[in-house]
Amino acid sequence: MANIMIQRGSKTEYVFYLPKRDLEDDIVSMEFDSPEKWGGEIKLNNGGTYYIDPQSKPAKLPISLRAKRLDAAE
Amino acid sequence: MSALTREETEALIQEVLEVYPEKAKKDRAKHLTVNDQSIEQSKKCITSNRKSLPGVMTIRGCAYAGSKGVVWGPIKDMIHISHGPVGCGQYSRAGRRNYYVGMTGVNSFGTMNFTSDFQEKDIVFGGDKKLAKVMTEIEALFPLNKGVSIQSECPIGLIGDDIEAVAKKTTAETGKPVVPVRCEGFRGVSQSLGHHIANDAIRDWVLPRREGKAFEGTPYDVAVIGDYNIGGDAWSSRILLEEMGLRVVAQWSGDGTISEMEKTPFVKMNLIHCYRSMNYIARHMEEKYSIPWMEYNFFGPTKVAESLRAIAAHFDDKIKEGAERVIAKYQAMMDEIIAKYKPRLQGKKVMLYVGGLRPRHVIGAYEDLGMEVVGTGYEFGHNDDYDRTIKDMGNATLIYDDVTGFEFEEFVKRIKPDLVGSGIKEKFIFQKMGVPFRQMHSWDYSGPYHGYDGFAIFARDMDMTLNNPCWSKMTAPWLKKEEPVAEKEAA
Ligand code: SF4
């Protein structure tokens, strides 16, 4: 589990930021993206995938969350 | 000499790495790369923010330098105690040239060195009592201080002093902010972690101080973050923002004050110049206070105009017009400077090796003068810095991370740039090699370089260094052969 931050992006809707590794990347897909259920598996532009517990859509971004790494790029 | 091709640059890296033992070679190879603009993610080509190799000459500093020297030091109305032995603070005192207005020793303390001067006794029995005494003395001698920050040096973490307790006690007594910063030099791999720790201290001890208090805001309030006023940089940036109609509420931290910082959560937008050292606090403010932030670049007229427009785009038409007005106002002056210096500097090649934001930010300013940056690198950059650099640099140029003294010298010998821009530790090596050099950390005792006014000085300085007649006198007269004849013919 790692602390991450999800922000609004300019190219894609969401941008993923992992402070520990200075990884800032666009989120290309998110498993759930509706007002009631938001989160789940997220795929990054660099090929990595992370998992955040599905929750209701946050009222405002950015938001700090805990995420599990499923598959980091290289 | 024409620029190297990709293959030649790659070969050069291999050649330079040849002298290292196998393990060191493998490690250093990851930190050197040839720029490829098509790569999106720097991680694919360069490794950064790793421990330096033992035995090589690195140019990095420590976490204490990142916190005391960079982030906290310039806050002028606070006293920053270098907590621990005297050397760390004394040898770095006032070297950074972050200018401020005020009476030093009365209401401003920027160039002074305060230390708890640890002795053996303090290491053995702990230094908390001494720290408390230092605080009382400070209050008596400098009653106009607006607060104190305790910048830990290595021993504090090693002996496990409780500086937080002393800080809380003193705040209760004086009512002024006392900020303990756990920036012991051994933390992290470079000064970069010191920036982060300093940002976290601001987050925890400074920003909440005015929460819920009244603030008379305007829709045009901004904060300039990550400008340390080196040689007056923040001033020459600030006037441009004010001219276009914005209100600069806070300057972090060059010529800044603690009350400005406390007011920052009320602004409408944070403008970040040095991304590396202050992005943490900007991200925090975005999340907690919903303040958007953006990076800008005030080096060279092209980038200044670009940045002014990008900043204005976040505001209404009044500001947008203001930006255009400012750009138009300085256009004539810029054209004149470029007309004067470009012919003298056109086509010259520059190699940079600096920290923070400059390895990518100053590229635009050199390009405005017709110069080309052929190599660049960060002392303590992270991946996100290199992500931003790849696009700014030309294809097949050299990028080096935490370059060692040896590598840098070899690169310069082979690439033969017309100008090297780096720090004081490199300056005399290259000057003795006969390569013109500018000290790009503190602008070689010149500056400011930000903004339009700064560009005028930047252009003059580059010309003054590059076209200095001394570079043609590098060979002793009796060793020169052909030239006297040629001179006679010309006469
Ligand atoms: S590494 Fe430690 S002892 Fe050295 S300057 Fe930094 S804080 Fe001082």
Q: How far apart are CA B250 and CA B252, in angstroms?
A: 6
Q: How far apart are CA A1 and CA A4, in angstroms?
A: 9
Q: How far apart are CA B256 and CA B401, in angstroms?
A: 31
Q: Residue B382 and residue A62: Cβ atoms within 8 Å?
A: no
* pLDDT tens figures, B93-142: 988 899 999 999 999 999 999 999 999 999 999 999 999 999 999 999 99
**DSSP per residue, B414-480:** HH--SEEEE-HHHHHHHHHTT--EEETTTGGG----SHHHHHHHHHHHHHHHHT-GGGGG-S-GGG-
Neighbouring-strand partners of residue B148? B79, B178
Provide the annotated active-site residues of B.
62, 65, 96, 195
Task: Give the confidence band of A73 by pLDDT, cuts at 50, 70, 90.
Answer: low
Hey, of A11, A17, A22, which one would you mutate to test binding to chain B, going by the most B CBs within 10 A of its CB? A22
Chain B residues within 8 A of A60 when measuring between CB atoms: 290
Q: Letter for the amino acid at B237?
A: S
A3 touching chain B per CB within 8 A: no
Taking a C-beta distance cutoff of 8 angstroms, is the pair B401, B32 a contact? yes
Phi and psi (nearest 5°) for B437? -140, 135
CA–CA min distance A31, chain B (Å): 23
CA–CA min distance B286, chain A (Å): 7
Taking a C-beta distance cutoff of 8 angstroms, is the pair B134, B116 a contact? yes
CATH superfamily, domain at A2-67: NifT/FixU-like (2.40.50.240)
Taking a C-beta distance cutoff of 8 angstroms, is the pair B297, B321 a contact? no
Count CB atoms within 10 A of the CB of residue B256.
26
Which strands form B32-34's sheet, in the order they lie side by side?
B32-34, B398-401, B372-378, B349-352, B419-422, B437-439
pLDDT for B62 equals 93
pLDDT for B1 equals 41
Rounded to 5°, angle at Cα B73 from B72 and B79: 95
* Terminal-to-terminal C-alpha distance of chain B: 29
Q: Residue B387 and residue A21: Cβ atoms within 8 Å?
A: no
Q: Which candidate from B43, B286, B382 shows the least CB-CB separation from A62? A: B286
Q: How far apart are CA B321 and CA B87, in angstroms?
A: 51
Q: Please tell me the residue having the least CA distance from ligand 1 atom 3.
A: B154
Taking a C-beta distance cutoff of 8 angstroms, is the pair A16, A23 a contact? yes
Q: Residue A22 and residue B40: Cβ atoms within 8 Å?
A: no
Distance from residue B84's CA to the centre of ligand 1 (Å):
9
- Do domains B63-210 and B221-323 share one topology? The answer is yes
Q: How far apart are CA A52 and CA A32, in angstroms?
A: 10
Distance of CA B433 to the CA centre of its chain: 26
How is chain B split into domains, by residue range?
Answer: 1-60+343-491, 63-210, 221-323
Q: Please tell me the residue having the least CA distance from ligand 1 atom 6.
A: B185
pLDDT for B484 equals 52
Taking a C-beta distance cutoff of 8 angstroms, is the pair B404, B28 a contact? yes
pTM, 2 dp: 0.90
Query: Which listed CATH number (3.40.50.10470, 3.40.50.620, 3.40.50.1980, 2.40.110.20) goes with B1-60+343-491?
Result: 3.40.50.1980
* pLDDT tens figures, B226-248: 999 999 999 999 999 999 999 99
Helix (H, G, I), strand (E, B) or coil at B80: strand
**Region of residue B447 (left: phi > 0; alpha: psi -120 to 50; beta: else):** left
Which residues of chain B are modeled with pLDDT < 70?
1-3, 482-491
DSSP conformation class of A18: E
* pLDDT tens figures, A37-51: 898 999 888 888 999
Q: Is the CB of B294 under 6 A from ligand 1?
A: no
Q: Quick one: CATH architecture of B221-323?
A: 3-Layer(aba) Sandwich (3.40)
Measured between alpha carbons, how far is residue B209 from residues A41, B75, B241, B258, B269 in Å? 38, 16, 27, 10, 19
Taking a C-beta distance cutoff of 8 angstroms, is the pair B252, B272 a contact? no
* pLDDT tens figures, B177-192: 999 999 999 998 999 9
Distance of CA B45 to the CA centre of its chain: 24
Q: How far apart are CA B137 and CA B299, in angstroms?
A: 43
Q: Work out the mean pLDDT of chain B and round it to a whole number.
A: 92
Q: Provide the pairing of β-strand B269-272 with B148-152.
A: unpaired
Reply yes or no on domain B63-210 having CATH 3.40.50.300: no
The residue among B83, B108, B254, B85 whose CA lies nearest residue B179 is: B83
Distance from residue B62's CA to the centre of ligand 1 (Å):
6
Task: Give the confidence band of A74 by pLDDT, cuts at 50, 70, 90.
Answer: low
Q: Residue A62 and residue B384: Cβ atoms within 8 Å?
A: no
